[in-house]
Structure 1
Amino acid sequence: MSNNPRRVAVVLCGCGRGDGSEIHESSAVIINLSRAGAEISMFAPNMEQYHVIDHHAGTVDEGKARNMMIEAARIARGEIFPLNDLEPENFDAIIFPGGAGVGKNLCNFATNKEDFMVLPEIFGELGCELTIGNDTPQSGRWPLASTTKILENLGVVHVNKDVTEAHVDQNNKIVTTPAFMCGTAKYHEVFDGISELVKNVMELA
C-alpha cells in the first residue's frame, strides 16, 4: 500500500434502517474510514425513496415522500453528491452500508426477491463470495437466513460468519459483514464487524 490516502466512496440511500441507510452501520463505516486515514466521498441517488417509514411505530407513513440524497445528507453532514456523479475509476474502494432501505431504494429486492433489479448506476456481481451471516435461523439469531438460498440461486457463494466477523472474497475484492442481519446483534458487535470490513477493504485498496 502506498502512503497516499485511499479514496473511498460511501453509497447511501436515505437515513434510517426502515427506508434508507442504517444510521449506526453508516456511522461505523465513516468512523473507521476516518480512523484509517481514508479520503471519504459520500453519494446517494437524487430521487425519491421507495416509501417513508415512521420508525417509532414501524409503519409506512402514507402520503409522505422524501428524497434519498437530502435524507442521506443528515449522515454525511451535508457533504454528499448525486450517485450518478460517482465514477468508480476515481476511487480505490466503494462501500455500501446496510439497512432495509438498500433493498428498496438501490434495488427492488425487498419487494421482488425472485426477479429483482438494481439501479442502473450499480452493477451486480455474480459468482462472488459474501456473507449476510448464517444460513440457519438459530432460534431467531439469523431471522433472514432464508435469503442465503436466493443468493445461491444467483450464483453467489454464501459464507457463514458471525456478526463481529467479515468475509473477504480475494478474487473479486469484495468484503462483507452481517451487521444487523443478525437479529440479536448488539451495537458494539455490529461496530466491531464493520471495523473488520473496513480494515480488510483498506488492505485490498
Structure 2
Amino acid sequence: MIKVGVILSGCGVYDGSEIHEAVITLLALDRAGAEAVCMAPNIDVAVVNHLTGKPAEGETRNVLVESARIARGKIRDIAEVKVADVDALVFPGGFGAAKNLCNFAVKGSDCAAHPEVARLVREIVAAKKPLAAICIAPALISSILGNDKLAHKLTIGSDKDTAAALTKMGTEHIACPVSNFVVDPLNKLISTPAYMLAGSIREAAEGIEKMIEEVLKMIGNKR
C-alpha cells in the first residue's frame, strides 16, 4: 500500500493545522486507497483561543498531542520518521505551519524550519519523492529549499506580500486559483492555495483533492 506522510502542526487554524485542510487531505488519501502516516514534532507551543482569536495567556499545549486529535491517536513523532517510511509528504496549512513547523509568522523571509521537519523535507526532495504543501505551508518549504539554494516553484495563491516573501527566500512563485495547483516537476513539488483564497470548505477541497490526485500519480509513475 502507498504510504503518504501527513505532517501536522497542532489542532486549529490559529495555532496548529487547519482542520478542514487536514481532514480533506486524509479523506482524499483514504478514498484513493493510500495510507496516511500522520506525524508532528513533539514540542510545546503557545495557544490561541479559537472562540476569540486571541492568545490564551499562560497556556501551552503539545503539538504532537494536539495533532493526535486530528489523527484519532494514530500519530508518530516526526523525529522517529525516516524517508524510507513514506512514499510522499503532505503539509496541510494553518498558522501552525508558519508558527510551529517554522517561524515564518514571526520572522518572515528570515525564518527557519524546525530541525526535524527540515531534515525530512530535504530527505524527501533528495529521494525524488513527491512533496505537497497546502495554504501557507509552501512558506515552510521555501525556507528550507531556499536556504539550500535549490531552484524551485511553489504557490500560495495570489497574496502579493506573502508571494514576495517566498520570492525573497528563493522560490519562483506561481499565481494560482483556489481550484487548482502548481507543479514543480523537477523537484516533485505540488502546492495549492486552499484557505489562502478559499471562501468555503468546498472551495478548499477542490484544489486539495486535485493536488492529492497528482501526488498519487507521481508516486505511481515512479513505482
TM-score w.r.t. length of structure 1 = 0.90
1:105 aligned residue (100, 108, 113): 100
Cross-structure match for 2:135: none
Question: Does 2:153 correspond to 1:129?
Answer: yes
Q: Which residue of 2 aligns with 1:69?
A: 64
The equivalent of 1:140 in structure 2 is none
Structure 1 stretches of 5 or more lacking a match? 135-143
What code does the residue aligned with 1:132 have?
Answer: I
In 2, Cα distance between equivalents of 1:185 and 1:197: 18
Query: Which among 172, 181, 189 is matched to residue 174 of structure 1?
Result: 189
Is 1:191 the counterpart of 2:205? The answer is yes
Across the aligned residues of Structure 1 and Structure 2, the Cα RMSD in angstroms comes to 1.0
What is residue 128 of structure 2 aligned with on the other side?
none
Structure 2 distance, partners of 1:114, 1:150, is 5
AA matched with 2:145: E
Q: Do the aligned residues in 1 keep the contact of 2:16 with 2:96 (CA within 8 Å)?
A: yes
Aligned mates of 1:187, 1:41 — CA distance in 2:
23
Q: How far apart are residue 79 of structure 1 and its match?
A: 0.4
Residues 72-124 of structure 1 deviation map (CA, whole Å, 9 limit, x = unaligned)? 11100010110101112221100010001110000010001131110111231
CA distance in 2, matches of 1:31, 1:39: 10
Q: Distance in 1 between the 2:48 and 2:162 partners?
A: 23
Q: Is the 8 A contact 1:163 1:185 kept in 2?
A: no
The answer to whether 1:21 aligns with 2:17 is: yes
Q: Deviations over 1:144-194 (max 9, x none)?
A: 431111111111011111111111110000110001111x52210101110
Matched residue, 1:38: 34
Question: Which secondary structure state, in structure 1, belongs to the residue aligned with residue 22 of structure 2?
Answer: helix
TM-score, length-scaled by structure 2: 0.83
Runs of 4 or more consecutive aligned structure 1 residues displaced over 6 Å after TM superposition: none
Look up the match of 1:137: none
CA distance in 2, matches of 1:81, 1:173: 24
In structure 2, the residue corresponding to 1:46 is in which secondary structure?
coil
Aligned identity (percent) is 39
CA distance in 1, matches of 2:111, 2:145: 14
More helix by share: 2
Is the contact between residue 93 and residue 201 of structure 1 (CA under 8 Å) also seen in structure 2? yes
SS in 2 for 1:162: coil
Higher relative contact order (CA 8 A, sep 6+): 1
Q: List gaps (5 residues or longer) in structure 2.
A: 119-143
